[in-house]
């Protein structure tokens, strides 16, 4: 058995447990935990059974299993970047709204200064 066949399942278990703890602490949604758990289970299966990726690749019309894994990882990364971009965009809007509200509440007129 190759070294990555042992290391990736261990990393997968740690990652799934970490996401479960984040869910229990209400820092992660259940959908996110489920999606990441599915991802890490697939990673473990591909590490333990390398030929398993070939079956998935043929299912999606891709010739090699490694190509399928690379496309899968790329899709997960793009999804993660998209989610982060949306979160940052929402935070920027929230900060702008908050700054406007604080500025209006703390407005000082020239008459009050004299």
For the chain, the straight-line distance linking the first and the last C-alpha, in angstroms and rounded, comes to 82
**Which domain covers residue 45, as residue numbers?**
1-50
* Phi and psi torsions of 107, nearest 5°: -65, 130
Query: How many domains is the chain built from?
Result: 2
pTM: 0.64
Other beta carbons within 10 Å of 46? 22
In a domain, 59, yes or no: no
In a domain, 35, yes or no: yes
In a domain, 93, yes or no: yes
Q: The tokens of 68 are what?
A: 């399928």
111 vs 34, higher pLDDT: 34
What pLDDT score was predicted for residue 1?
Answer: 61
Q: The tokens of 108 are what?
A: 């000082």
In a domain, 114, yes or no: no
Same-domain check for residues 4 and 43:
yes
* Tens-digit pLDDT profile for residues 65-111: 888 888 888 988 898 899 999 999 999 999 999 998 888 888 765 55
In a domain, 97, yes or no: yes
112 vs 100, higher pLDDT: 100
In a domain, 101, yes or no: yes
């Amino acid at each position: 058995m190759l070294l990555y066949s042992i290391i990736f399942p261990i990393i997968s278990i740690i990652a799934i447990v970490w996401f479960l703890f984040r869910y229990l602490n209400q820092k992660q949604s259940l959908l996110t935990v489920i999606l990441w758990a599915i991802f890490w289970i697939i990673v473990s299966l591909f590490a333990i059974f390398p030929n398993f990726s070939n079956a998935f690749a043929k299912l999606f019309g891709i010739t090699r299993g490694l190509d399928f894994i690379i496309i899968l990882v790329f899709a997960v990364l793009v999804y993660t970047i998209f989610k982060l971009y949306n979160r940052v965009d929402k935070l920027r809007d929230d900060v702008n709204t908050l700054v406007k509200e604080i500025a209006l509440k703390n407005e000082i007129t020239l008459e009050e200064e004299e």
